[in-house]
Each structure stands twice: as structure tokens, then as C-alpha cells.
Amino acid sequence: MSICTFCNEAFINDQRDTLLLDRNNVLRPIGCCKKCSSLSIMDEKISTLNVDEILERQVELHNDDWENETNTELTDYAVSLNILVDFLTEKFNLDSTSNIIEVGSGRGGLIKAFLNSGFYEIKGCEPSEFLYNLAIDNYNLSNENLLNCISSDLFNQIDKKVSVDLIVYWHSLEHIPSALSELKSASSVIHDNGAIIIQVPLLYKPWIYDEHLHFMTEKTLEFIESQTSLYVFELNYDYERMFMTVIFKHKNEKYIKFSPRITNTEQLYNFSIERLHKNILASRDVLDEKIKSNEAYKELVAEKINTISSYETLCNEKDLIISKMLDERIKSNAAYEVLVKEKINTISSYETLCNEKDLIISKMLDERIKSNAAYEVLVKEKFDTISSYEILVKEKIDTISSYESLMIEKMDTISSYESLCDRKNDYK
């Protein structure tokens, strides 16, 4: 017998009569834990391994799965997870200050999507060094957001004063050995109103392969409630892809104990088939409504076509009228072109006449310029003559001034002589 990889506390009941095809179309025996009611693939390789060895094997398998992923694929992957970020934001009323932890970050796509949406208190862990380096290199992450370790190491690093709002196990819990212990550790980290959300695959052919250690059932959820401080706050199924999504919160005085509705695999399959059948019937109803709507739409389109045909006839008539008007306009334009051509010829003649006038005026200007030049020479000569006259006049004025001075002296002499004569006369 094998020890259950979910609770790690009981043996798996080997149900050899329960065989299911895995994703490679190989029949695999399925076992059920006697204690936690989780389902597992009966694999002798796993039964001989301890927890650390199982984790190491998980890392190797995941490295092989993702070693050839391109940068473009990684970018597209992170963008596709924006829908999940929006869902979690609305579901848990998150904001940029919310403390969020993702366990099993893989290639780091969800971490990157949270960061792109403005959540800076997001932190994750990934045990695979290869996947961790892939995330760091392609998404430009750092140890502030992603650690290369297991969840217990991450939980131990969290400051006790920091209250964690949400822990996300998005398709990672089914890869973790001792999942019950994992949930117990996670419950010690979230605050009183915090939450843990998990999405895991159901026991279904596409999801039956070695990396999936266990498949939870509703009885497993009941067992988790009995062994931890957590209770099932919400449970939802995706029957198209066969996923189970569970939200756990801390028990309080108002919590209601979970009661399983689906207690075995057959019931799960029947329930999913019934739900999918209802979905198909609902889809048929929608399709019928679409068909009726399409018939009405066809009638409307036929009416529109008739209207368009009438409009086309009207347009054709308008085209004929416009064509006639264009012909008349063309004829009118032709006559106008003849008139314009005549005007152009008249303008050309006028330009020729103007050019001849320009030549005559140019010659007259040249002669006038030459005449002005001669006149300027004559004026200059006259100015020179006047300057000479001015010099001569100045000399004459100087001579007259000298004569005047001499006359004054002579007059003075005469006056002195007269005075002397008068004295002599008096003496006699």
C-alpha cells in the first residue's frame, strides 16, 4: 500500500477494479485515501519516494514540460492571466496595497500580470531553479517578487506584523506532497479575514498524469475543515474543463460546516454530465433564438436590399442628369478655353509692347543719366569758380580792412595836427 500524498497520514485503498485512461490512453489504477478521501494514481515509483524526493521529481517533470517555451509564448501567457487578476481583484476586493502570495509560481506569469495591474505587494515562490530563472529573465522580476524556494521557506520569511490578504494556489496544490500540511501552514499566515483560493483539476482523462499527485473530492474538503482552522467559504466547478475552485477562510462563529454533495467519482461524472447536458439544452435554446433572430434579420435585410435597389435606380437617373450637365459644362468650358486663349494672345501682344516701351525708357534713362553726369561736372566747375571768387573777395575785404586802419591812423594824425595848429594860433 502507498501513503497518501495529500494528508500523508493514511494508506491509499488500492481500488484495482477502478481503472481510468490517462492523457496518453494508458489504463491507470486509481486509489482512494482511507482518511482524507483524496484520489491518486497508483504509481509504484511514487510509493517508494519520500517527500523531498517527490518534490525533486516534480521539479524535473516541470522543467521538461517548459524547457522549449519561447519569449513570445511567455509574454502571451502573462497577458492571458490578466483575466484571472481581474477576477481575483473583484472577488476579494483587492487593491494596490493588498499583500498577496502565490505558491508554485512556475514561469512567473501570474506575478507579472499582478505587477502589470499595479499590485506591488505580490510575492511568489517556485522550487524549480530553471523555471525561476526563466521568470526572472523573461519578466524582469527580482527577489522582491519571486523566490527560488518552497512555500515553507517563504512563509518563514514573512514578517509576523504583515497581514497576508490572499494566498493563491492556482494549479499548484496537486503538485505538492503533504498538501494538508501545506494548507495548515498557509492558514497561519493569512489574517483573520484573509483567504486562500485553490484551483485544482478533477479526476478526468486530460489531467491524469504523473505530475498530479492527488485529486481532491468534496469529502477531502470536509476532511480539511476537520483538521485545520479553515472552512469552505465557496466551492465552484468548471464542468467544461473539469476544474474545482475552492475558497478557504478562517472559521468564525458564523461559519456553516461543509456537507459534501458529491461523494464518489461516478457521482461526480454523472453530475458533470447532467450539468453539461443542461448547458447544451440552454445552448440549443439560445441557438433557436438566434435562428429566429436570424430569420427576422434576413427579412430586414431583404427589405433593405429592396430599398437599396430603389436607391440604385434613383442614383442611375441622377447619374444620367449629371452626365448631361457635365457634357454641357464641358462644351461651355471648351468655349471658355478659346476665349482664354484669345486673352492670352492679347496679353502676349501687350507684353511685347511693354517690352518695347521698356527698351525706349531704358535708353532715355541712360541719356538722362549721361546728361546729369555732364551737368554735375559743370556744377562742380561753377562751385570751384565760386570758391575762387570767395577767396578773392576775402582778400579784397582784408585789403579794405587794412586801408580802413590806415585811414583811421591818418585821421588821427590829422586830428593831432589840427590840435597842434590850434595851440599855435592861441599862442600867437
Least confident of 45-54, 125-134, 211-220: 45-54
What pLDDT sits at residue 15? 57
- Asked whether residue 181 is domain-assigned, the answer is yes
Q: Could you tell me if residue 154 is inside a domain? A: yes
Give mean pLDDT, residues 248-252.
Answer: 95
Three cell numbers written together for 366: 541712360
C-alpha 251: how far from chain center: 42
* For residues 289-311, average pLDDT: 81
**Grid cell 579794405 in the structure block, residue:** 400
Number of helices followed by number of strands (H, E) in the chain: 10, 10
Judge whether 279 lies within some domain: no
Q: Is 102 contained in some domain?
A: yes
* Pair 111, 63: CB distance under 8 Å: no
Q: How confident is the model at residue 211 (pLDDT cuts 50, 70, 90)?
A: confident
170 assigned to some structural domain: yes
Chain centre distance of CA 269:
43
Question: Could you tell me which of 99, 115, 245 has the C-alpha nearest to residue 167?
Answer: 99
pLDDT range class, residue 1, cuts 50, 70, 90: low
- Residue type, position 117, single letter: S
Residue 33: pLDDT over 70: yes
Contact assessment for residue 35 and residue 223, using Cβ atoms and an 8 Å cutoff: yes
pLDDT at res. 157: 87
Q: Reduced to 3 states, what is the DSSP secondary structure of residue 141?
A: coil
Is 194 part of a structural domain of the chain? yes
Are 247 and 195 contacting, i.e. CB atoms less than 8 angstroms apart? yes
Amino acid at 6: F
Is the pLDDT at 272 greater than 60? The verdict is no
The pLDDT, as a whole number, for residue 264 is: 67
Q: How much is the mean pLDDT over the chain?
A: 86
Q: Which three cell numbers stand for residue 394?
A: 576775402
Do residues 24 and 210 touch, judged by C-beta distance below 8 A? no
C-alpha to C-alpha distance for 362 and 76, rounded to whole angstroms = 82
Cell numbers that stand for 249 in this block: 477562510
What lies within 8 Å, CB to CB, of 185 at 6+ separation is 151, 152, 155
- Non-local (6+) Cβ contacts of 365 within 8 A are none
Q: pLDDT exceeding 70 applies to what percent of the chain?
A: 93
The domain in which residue 178 lies consists of 66-263
User: For residue 137, is it within any domain?
Assistant: yes
Please tell me which residue, 194 or 42, carries the higher pLDDT value: 194
The pLDDT tens digits of the residues spanning 69-84 come to 788 888 888 889 999 9
pLDDT at residue 270 in the model? 58
Q: What is the pLDDT of residues 7-24, one digit of tens each?
A: 988 777 765 557 888 889
Query: Quick check: is 190 in a domain?
Result: yes
The total number of structural domains that make up the chain: 1
* pLDDT > 70? residue 363: yes
What's the average model confidence in pLDDT over 184-200? 95
Per-residue CA distances from 370 to 90, 355, 358, 376, 382 (Å): 100, 23, 18, 10, 19
pLDDT in tens, 99-137: 999 999 999 999 999 999 999 999 999 999 999 999 999
Q: What's the CATH code of the domain at 203?
A: 3.40.50.150
| Site of grid cell 433593405 | 304
**Mean pLDDT confidence for 331-358:** 86
Burial class from Cβ neighbours inside 10 Å (0-12, 13-18, 19+) for residue 35 reads middle
Q: What percent of the chain has pLDDT over 90?
A: 36
